[in-house]
Amino acid sequence: MYTINMALNVIISAIMVIQSVIALPFNTALFFIDNEASVFESGDEMYTVIWSTSLPGTGWVTYTYDGVEYVVKDLQNSAVRTEDTVHSVRVPKAHLDHNAYTYSSQQISTRRAYVAVKGRTVTSAPVEFKGYSGQEQINMLVLSDIHENPYNAQKAVNNFTVQPDLLVLNGDLVSYMTSVLKFKQILSYAHRFSGGTIPVIYTRGNHENRGTYGPEAVDIFKTSTRGQYFTCSYGPISLLCLDSGEDKDDSDWTYAGLVDSTSYIAEETEWMKTLSPDEDADYRVCIAHMPNVNNRYGFNWVPILTDLKTDLFIGGHKHRLNFEYRRLNVPFYQMLDGGKTNDDGFIATMLTFGGGEIRGIAYDDQRNLAGEHTYVIER
Ligand SMILES: [Fe+2]
């Protein structure tokens, strides 16, 4: 039996190798970076660099830090990942801040137990990455609910006279997550508004739970918690970034009985309870797509956010701007960040942190000032 299995394996491998070698010139011509890299916050002191290619292959990020050249590979349990067109590499923030990085992928046509057929390698131009550099004013661009129309979001963003230091993508960038192509749309928006040069915070929206690629997409970020929730900081700003789940109960017909967000949110809630307030931070911000944090699948996050001494909660989902959102009786500021406002409108928000204040300004895609507000942070 063993001999037969081995013989079959050799024959199948030989056929695959011959096929791959014949197809290699075509695959080489068709292999390119189809979404340039963005640098995502993924928990504590780490970033995850994510990009994609037109065909499956490997991925690695290269940079020099403290005189040492680093080549960090997209790995899974010791093996180089080769089956995917999305590539993600986790690197320490200290290594990437104020540094240049490149990213590369090699096309892999066939990978068997004892043989692999490899195609060409594509490499990005060097990208100069900015991190916190002690600047007195920090600009955070906040976009949510793009819902597959980045062009009006771009028009709204074009109104700002300052450049962002940090990009927040607060969920519902796409309306469903049925395949890797939908995830690639998220990558394209992240790169469009960050250029791969500033950190990106992505929080999952309710729509991005919908579809079989939703859970896979979370794995790509390689977060510290393994969920789409984590803490991070940017200079004096401490951030709690949450996955607020769906906008309907698990029992809703929409999900065909095939989701259990309740258990996922329960786990996230337990993790939140292990956190303590960042006493050194000048600003403590919580970001989540769904604004009704008093009832996430029966869990009330308000006491937790209160214990964490949250200054400002930023929600999306409602497709409107509200700098003084007062739905809940809570001891911290709340806002809704805008997003897609009707069939073809969009509101983008810039928050500027400095001098103990958070100043918000928002524009729509028609060049109108949509709103302004200043939050005073008292310590
Ligand atoms: Fe939403």
Ligand 1 centroid vs 318 CA: distance in angstroms?
Answer: 7
* Ligand 1: centre distance to CA 316 (Å): 7
Instruction: Give residue 172's pLDDT band: very low, low, confident or very high (50, 70, 90).
Output: very high
Name the 3-class secondary structure at 327. Answer: coil
What the chain holds in terms of domains, given with CATH numbers, is 2-33+51-128 (no CATH), 138-376 (3.60.21.10)
Instruction: Determine the distance separating the centroid of ligand 1 and the alpha carbon of 319, expressed in angstroms.
Output: 8
User: How far, in Å, CA of 257 to CA of 236, rounded?
Assistant: 43
pLDDT at position 293 is: 95
How many A from CA of 343 to the centre of ligand 1? 15
How many angstroms is it from 321 CA to the middle of ligand 1? Answer: 14
91 Cα: distance to centroid of ligand 1 (angstroms): 30
Burial of 377 (0-12, 13-18, 19+ CB in 10 A): middle
pLDDT band at 179 (very low <50, low <70, confident <90, very high): very high
User: What tokens appear for 53 in the block?
Assistant: 């290619």
Q: How confident is the model at residue 78 (pLDDT cuts 50, 70, 90)?
A: very high
Cβ atoms of 50 and 87 within 8 Å: the answer is: yes
Residues with Cβ < 8 Å from 7, sequence gap 6 or more?
Answer: none
Structure tokens of 165?
A: 């230091």
295-342 confidence digits (pLDDT tens): 999 999 999 999 999 999 999 999 999 999 988 789 999 999 999 988
Residue 144 CA to ligand 1 center (angstroms) comes to 8
Q: Give distance in angstroms: CA of 157 to centre of ligand 1.
A: 20
Cα of 13 vs centre of ligand 1, distance in Å, is 46
- For residue 243, how far is its CA from the centre of ligand 1 (angstroms)? 12
Q: How far is the CA of 331 from the centre of ligand 1 (A)?
A: 24
